[in-house]
């Protein structure tokens, strides 16, 4: 029987420190009126330091469930997950506190990390400048556009100084132009900081636009169906020919997975 473990910090100098996240034979079931439902089945996946990986699949395939397991918000039913430190998590909704300013939202994350009070404002200002919101420290959440709110949420996640950033469809609710701009910003920040990123999406072109590796999950239960290394040089555009061609290939695989699920 497979063992169940929770998130563990990779000790420096051990083999585990050679990856940002290691998912080993992880399965997850949820109980219900009809009994246990297997959502994820025997997932094994490594994310290397500085690597950008997208998790792609149809709705309900377990992408967000897997991300929650890596974040430590839930425990696997079987298998093991280790990460190099505690990951930072960014959701589809910005989850900012509306009674705080943009800067104070970031300062809260700094406070929880143990940054001294005297240093927090300067650090928050630096992070706002990193996400190209210089001068927005004193703005309330309701004064910010959707894209600006997600930038603040990104700055707050970066404030945790984690080596691994987990992103659960963070741009799905944004319009196409804003989403494209934030793709550029995320790519720039990732390349500047060399964070490891595990990014959940159901948008094939977004997956190819951003990632070094695309991982396709099958439908119910989620299993790793196929992986692609994305060798397209940066900067990439979502309308680039190479992005479009690989997206077509991946879309065909995704459609096949959906058809196979529909036959059951």
Beta-carbon contacts of residue 11 (< 8 Å; ≥ 6 apart): 17
Rg (C-alpha) for the chain, rounded Å, is: 19
Measure the CA–CA gap between 243 and 240, rounded to whole angstroms.
Answer: 5
Q: Which of 106, 97, 95 is nearest to 133 (CA)?
A: 106
For residues 81 and 70, the answer to whether their CB atoms sit within 8 Å is: yes
- Res 17: pLDDT: 58
Q: Which domains does the chain have, with CATH numbers?
A: 18-87+163-264 (3.40.50.300), 95-161 (no CATH)
With b for 16 or more beta-carbon neighbours within 10 A and e for fewer, the 251-261 pattern comes to eebbeebeeee
| Cis status, amide bond into 221, omega within 30 of 0 | yes
Query: What sign does the dihedral 75-80-85-87 (CA atoms) show?
Result: negative
Q: Which of 175, 226, 185 is nearest to 209 (CA)?
A: 185
Measure the CA–CA gap between 84 and 172, rounded to whole angstroms.
Answer: 28
Measure the CA–CA gap between 172 and 167, rounded to whole angstroms.
Answer: 11
Q: Which two tokens stand for residue 46?
A: 């490594």
Measure the CA–CA gap between 104 and 160, rounded to whole angstroms.
Answer: 14
Predicted confidence (pLDDT) per residue in 135-175, tens digit: 999 999 999 998 899 899 999 999 998 999 999 999 988 89
- Res 7: pLDDT: 44
CA–CA distances in Å: residue 48 to residues 20, 23, 164: 5, 12, 10
- Res 260: pLDDT: 77
CA 46 to chain centre: 14
Token look-up 């920040």 returns 189
CA 173 to chain centre: 15
Where the chain has pLDDT below 70, the residues are: 1-17, 32-34, 261-264
Q: Which two tokens stand for residue 188?
A: 């720039």
CA–CA distances in Å: residue 236 to residues 134, 181, 232, 253: 25, 12, 7, 22
pTM above 0.85, yes or no: yes
**Coil/strand/helix, residue 164:** strand
Q: Which of 222, 212, 218, 217 is nearest to 246 (CA)?
A: 212
Q: Which of 147, 109, 145, 143 is nearest to 127 (CA)?
A: 109
- Res 214: pLDDT: 97
Count of positions (residues) in the chain: 264
Burial of residue 243 (CB within 10 Å: 0-12, 13-18, 19+) is buried
Predicted confidence (pLDDT) per residue in 198-208, tens digit: 999 989 999 99
């Amino acid at each position: 029987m497979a063992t169940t473990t929770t998130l563990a910090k990779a000790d420096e100098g051990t083999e585990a420190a050679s990856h940002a996240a290691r998912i080993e034979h992880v399965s997850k079931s949820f109980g219900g009126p009809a009994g246990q439902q297997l959502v994820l089945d025997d997932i094994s996946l490594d994310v290397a330091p500085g690597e950008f990986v997208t998790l792609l699949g149809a709705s309900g395939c377990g992408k967000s469930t897997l991300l929650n397991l890596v974040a430590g918000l839930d425990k696997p039913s079987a298998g093991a997950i280790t990460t190099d430190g505690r990951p930072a998590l960014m959701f589809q909704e910005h989850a900012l506190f509306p009674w705080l300013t943009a800067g104070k939202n970031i300062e809260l994350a700094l406070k929880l990390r143990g940054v001294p009070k005297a240093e927090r404002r300067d650090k928050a200002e630096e992070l706002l400048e990193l996400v190209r919101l210089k001068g927005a420290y004193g703005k309330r959440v309701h004064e910010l556009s959707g894209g600006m709110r997600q930038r603040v949420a990104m700055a707050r996640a970066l404030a945790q100084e984690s080596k691994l950033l987990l992103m659960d469809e963070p741009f799905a609710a944004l319009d196409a132009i804003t989403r494209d701009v934030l793709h550029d910003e995320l790519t720039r920040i990732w390349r500047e900081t060399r964070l490891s990123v595990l990014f959940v999406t159901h948008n094939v072109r977004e997956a190819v636009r951003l990632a070094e590796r695309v991982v396709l999950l099958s439908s119910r239960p989620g299993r790793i169906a196929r992986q692609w290394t994305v060798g397209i040089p940066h900067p990439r555009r979502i309308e680039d020919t190479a992005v479009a061609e690989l997206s077509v290939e991946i879309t065909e695989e995704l459609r096949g997975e959906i058809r196979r699920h529909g036959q059951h």
